[in-house]
Structure 1
Amino acid sequence: MHIVDRRLNPRGKSLENRQRFLRRAKSAVQQAVKRSLQNRNIRDVLDGGEISLPIDGMTEPSFRRGEGGISDQVLPGNRAFVEGDIIPRPPGRGGGKPKEAGEGDGEDSFRFVLTREEFLDVFLDDLELPDLAKRRLSETEEFSPARAGFSVSGSPSNIAVARTSRLAMMRRIALKRPRTEEIEALKREIEEADDEERKAALEAELKSLNEKSKRIPYIDPLDVRYRRFEDEPKPVAKAVMFCLMDVSGSMSEHMKDLAKRFYLLLYLFLSQRYKKVEIVFIRHTDRAEEVDEETFFYGPATGGTLVSSALACMRQIIAARFDPAEWNIYAAQASDGDNSYSDGSTTGQLLQHEILPLCQYFAYIEVDEESGDSSVSRSPLWALYDSIRAAALPLSMRKVCRKNEIFPVFHDLFQKRDGEKVAP
């Protein structure tokens, strides 16, 4: 027996069958979203759009009669297989890949269009800031409406129809208000009465019932009840994310593109998932400056390299605006690993003794040319940070050479871990 929902999705709507499909094909959709992020431009990286899924496994679910236990089957005509052999997949089941001529029938990929909201939901499904709210909750409170019973006054849009109807019925029963059926039956009895005295008595009774009905209304203002809401305070854990990016002359356009892709994912993740997270953009050459979002992503800059200038700028901003006792402090730094030789000790001192003790989490992303061998090369900054990481401080490090590595690295750094520490 097959149960198929053939209702069409209206334009701009999401019916239950669409959501059911997304839940059923969740893992496949997530993989398709990751693949689609690799070759998009920075400005439209999360704009939704069409994704392709392998057609295998996209069939509609069906019910069949269950069969318990272990059963043996004998297939007639078998001369090639014995018990325990694995039967290969028949030709023409290419998992969505087109076949060449003579290789059997191919199958097209299943194409599915995601809205921007659905795309973001899939992208953000299993991401979070690690160790959020371990520090003291701030005194700032967020208020949200919560149900608090009923009241006798309020907005007409908040009328509690069920409660009002119940109170009105209780009042009518208690005051013995005549029912409509009783009045109609009395009217029919008057029409059928032949005796004038009997008819006069019935008319007097009808008049009394009508007057009583007018005195006892069907709905009285005393019956009306409104749903009441009260603002319920909720403590808010405040958090700030510092985005530090090297824009010096040693950063090629490819490296800057990799760094911007990472920060764009981070910015969208924070702005969509959290309402109380401040984002501070700092870019540096041989000097650092706090900039706005537009300048950070698209403003040109070049010069020498002093990594300590960005860390010093971050330290000054924390001291001026973000009390570590009240704020969860996070940082993400992107660089090509190049730094002035004389600045190494200053950078190490700032990071190890002044920045990391204040941070819940510090992520370092080192970008390299696409032809670079990230497994062998060790830049001066990477070697310095690697020695600091050995001190069990909240520092994680990753290297990126190609665009298709951005999402896996980002996902690895910010995925949910159910209380476990982020792997360095």
Structure 2
Amino acid sequence: MTLARTLRQALTIARRDFTATVFTPIFLLFLFAPLIMGSFGAIGGMGAASVADARADKARIVAIVPPPAMRAFKESDGRLRAVFRRDEEQPPALVTVAPDGRGLDQARSLFAAKDYEASAVLAGPLDAPHVLYGPRGKRAADYLGVLAGDALAAAKLGGSLPRVAVVKLPVARAGGGAGASGYRQSASFAVFGVFLLNLFLASQVVGTMAEERNNKVIEVLAAAVPLESVFLGKLLGMFGVAILFVGFWATIVAKLGSVLPPDVAGALALQTAVGLPTFGLLFFTYFTMAYLLLGSAFLVVGALASSPREIQMLSLPISIVQMAMLGLALAGTAHPEGAMGWAARLFPLSSPFAMAGRAATEAALWPHVAAIAWQLLWVSLFITFGARLFRRGVLQSGSAKPRWFGRKPVAEPLT
């Protein structure tokens, strides 16, 4: 059978599967699944944030200091809080209380106050204070220690610390790059991006083959065309669905990015060693390779599963394998020239993830050519092995043993 005929048969099956999947009402639910899941996540996040905000509104750090030191504490607190950004967790609001002579007993009693929830309480002399803190209050206790040092310095200088007029001058890196740290962040984004897309899309392949096996459709297809064409066609058909999904959401994200403020868009921009156009092409290529590799492996699993229950039982091992490949790729990205990095790039299931990260950190292009050829080899091996395994194990056709076991001896005629 020629390669052209195999591809023609595979594309016919791919067109059939693509049409049967896309032109159905249920596909709209699949297409908008990220929006639905994001909405549920946003609702849950808003609920958790409201609970956290309500608790943070009542949280306080308390300083038991004499009235002359209260002003220094408040000035230092206002100056230090200006260092925190809005998106950073700030220490709880400061409350100053005059000492009543009970020392640490007064500090302990403030943890039972009804007006607020004390996270940490400072008591004693400023040069050797005692700081009591409750659960999750160690950071607040450290902050109170810094305030005590500032207040003590202000007292020795006559009541307040000198103000320093700082002149801030932004400096851009040569070439406009973000350096090694920016490349590593882009590499992590690439690895996670390829992983999340395949986690959501490649697993869909498992159910397609199992469903048609239960409906006896696969036997009809196998009688008409070779199983290799069936496997490749189904893989290409579901890949077409994945491309439609990715293209739809990529367009929406691109439109949303165009309306962002310039400073926000600049902060979110990727910094890659190969340049953004080449990185985008390599990212799509490695997403394709990861989908074909994982999809062909999942296709074999779905072909061998005889019921939806078996598919559900196989979902956990499939997810574990995907998480293991993510961990291996991230470890390889952190140590690209070590043994873990080479293992991540050479192991077929993790190779697309690791090489997508390498595209962000390394400018050389020849390793990507070799990696893509290596991954295509494994795709063909997975499809060929899956088709033969399905033919012998499920359709129960073909030779019962591989050829290397030898042929059975031919019986000699009786004389």
TM-score norm. by structure 2 comes to: 0.20
Name the one with the larger helix percent.
2
Name the one with the larger strand percent.
1
Larger radius of gyration: 1
Q: Which has the higher contact order (CA 8 A, sep 6+)?
A: 2
TM-score norm. by structure 1 comes to: 0.19
